[in-house]
Amino acid sequence: MSFFVCKECGFGSASWYGKCPDCGKWNTLVERPDFAKSTSSKKKEGLKKISITPLKKIKTQEKTRIKTGIFEFDRVLGGGFVPGEVILLTGEPGIGKSTLILQSLKNIRTLYISGEESGEQVKNRADRLGVNLDNFLFSNDLQVEGIIESAAEMKDQIDIIVIDSIQTIYSKDVEGVSAGITQLKEVTKLLVTFAKKNNFAVILIGHITKEGEIAGPKSLEHFVDCVLNFEGEKVSNYRLIRTSKNRFGGTDEIGIFEMTGRGLKEISNPLVFLEEKRSLEPGKAIVGVAEGKRSLFFEIQTLVVPTVLAFPRRVVKGLDYNKVLLLLAVVRKNLSFPLDRFDIYVNVIGGVSIKGTSADLGLIASLISSFKNIPLPTSSLFIGEVGLLGEIRKTYFEEKILSEGKRLGFKKIYSGKNINSVKTLPSVILRERSDRRI
């Protein structure tokens, strides 16, 4: 009996289809006449009992971390690379993933496998960044079986293997093109097994496309130990690195970098996203947000203008769009603002995205400021989560943000401690504006 398997996604069927029912690609189902034979041979395999060991008798393995020397990167990893760890570094094309890797591994013995750039291109980038190449070995060969075999022979010469990118690697035993879901999963499984057995740290670089193809990094997250997301707008110099999964560390840390002509520069200043001389204008609010164990401060700008459309526009950048719509509904309910007559534009300065809920109160304050065309009080800071009923709630790490805000010179700090509800926010802001000329 014949069996048909899709080369792109691995879908199996007893009959042939011109279009794969699973991934929607055409002419990708190929016949596997030996499928029934191979499955029957597996059934004939003898039963193997599992070996069981009491968990308390298993020795605890102390993991010696490999530090990169870049504090912002080590912070997100949990202290450095762990031997045997497989890391998936994702981000949009051109965001700076290869630059980050070259700078962070300059003091570590590395085997760099590149399927997207030639050796000359990688060397030119390394020379521009001032990276010492004594610890780097390079290869353009992309067959995963060959990579594993060669790396095993050089076990005493390398500590980390970099695959740039995972979409270009293929296995000789799997049909289908590189970057297909079947190839991606098989290649990743082979690399993970190899890393665990030989105590190699492996970094898999993967692209995230706006189309969200099925063969993207999302399908590999459950195979790896750590998932790093490199974020930022190409039009902005700032880059953020976050971790959404980390078996050897926390997932609440964030690393901040600035892209310069000489590569990535570490940023430790919590006010890096704010102007040195902050002018007072309607629609501008400073918010304090906890990113991991550190407090950061961002500027939210909101523009409210009368609409000429039947359906007013809502444009959001740097915040969750649905969360902004929710907060607009809260404002309309509690303050009776006729927001359906206005276009509303919201932007977080610096080309970064705010993930926490501490910015809710600041967003509403900037909205009120723009709607009434009144600047907010001098040196004011907003911290607080806003509920559906309009109440101001305490947020994660609020005490630390408050303490840091006072240290940095914010004179008026608004939070759930001095504002109970959105309904009282306009009156509090107007009452505390000591300088009526602003």
One domain for residues 101 and 223: yes
In a domain, 279, yes or no: no
In a domain, 57, yes or no: no
- Please report, in range form, the residues annotated as the binding site for ATP: 91-98
In a domain, 47, yes or no: no
**CATH number, domain containing residue 316:** 3.30.230.10
In this prediction, residue 271 carries a pLDDT of 78
One domain for residues 257 and 288: no
One domain for residues 178 and 316: no
- For residues 190-195, average pLDDT: 94
In a domain, 307, yes or no: yes
Least confident of 14-18, 154-158, 230-234: 230-234
In this prediction, residue 385 carries a pLDDT of 94
**CATH number, domain containing residue 90:** 3.40.50.300
For residues 220 and 209, what is the distance between their CA atoms, to the nearest angstrom?
15
Residue owning tokens 């870049």: 70
One domain for residues 230 and 145: yes
In this prediction, residue 33 carries a pLDDT of 63
Q: Which of 196-200, 323-327, 405-409, 417-421 has the highest mean pLDDT?
A: 323-327
What is the token pair recorded at 14?
Answer: 């007893």
In a domain, 275, yes or no: no
- For residues 25-32, average pLDDT: 81
Q: Which of 187-201, 227-241, 275-289 has the highest mean pLDDT?
A: 187-201
Contact 353, 273 (CB under 8 A): no
pLDDT at residue 51 greater than cutoff 80: yes
One domain for residues 92 and 207: yes
In a domain, 52, yes or no: no
In this prediction, residue 370 carries a pLDDT of 94
pLDDT at residue 345 greater than cutoff 90: yes
Contact 202, 86 (CB under 8 A): yes
Q: Exposed/middle/buried for 35, CB within 10 Å: 0-12, 13-18, 19+?
A: middle
Contact 290, 358 (CB under 8 A): yes
Least confident of 149-153, 212-216, 301-305, 391-395: 212-216
One domain for residues 259 and 293: no
Q: How confident is the model at residue 94 (pLDDT cuts 50, 70, 90)?
A: confident
One domain for residues 104 and 204: yes
- For residues 266-286, average pLDDT: 79
- For residues 381-405, average pLDDT: 91
One domain for residues 355 and 389: yes
One domain for residues 121 and 216: yes
One domain for residues 29 and 75: no
One domain for residues 78 and 219: yes
For residues 71 and 104, what is the distance between their CA atoms, to the nearest angstrom?
10
Number of domains in the chain: 3
Between 330 and 438, the more confident residue is 330
Residues spanned by the domain of 101: 66-266
Q: Which long-range contacts (CB under 8 A, 24 or more apart) does 241-249 make?
A: 241/72, 241/73, 241/76, 241/100, 242/76, 242/355, 243/76, 243/77, 245/221, 246/77, 246/78, 247/85, 248/63, 248/77, 248/78, 248/82, 248/85, 249/77, 249/78, 249/79
Q: What single DSSP character describes residue 299?
A: E
pTM (two decimals): 0.75
Mean pLDDT taken over the chain? 85
In a domain, 436, yes or no: no
Task: Give tens-digit pLDDT for 408-427.
Answer: 888 889 998 888 899 998 88
- Please report, in range form, the residues annotated as the binding site: 91-98
Between 314 and 250, the more confident residue is 314
What is the token pair recorded at 348?
Answer: 């977080």
One domain for residues 394 and 323: yes
Q: How confident is the model at residue 314 (pLDDT cuts 50, 70, 90)?
A: very high
DSSP states of 317-346:
ESS-HHHHHHHHHHHHHHH---GGGEEEEE
In a domain, 306, yes or no: yes
pLDDT at residue 177 greater than cutoff 90: no
Q: What single DSSP character describes residue 51?
A: P
DSSP states of 137-167:
EEE---BHHHHHHHHHHTTTT-SEEEEE-GG
Q: How confident is the model at residue 332 (pLDDT cuts 50, 70, 90)?
A: very high
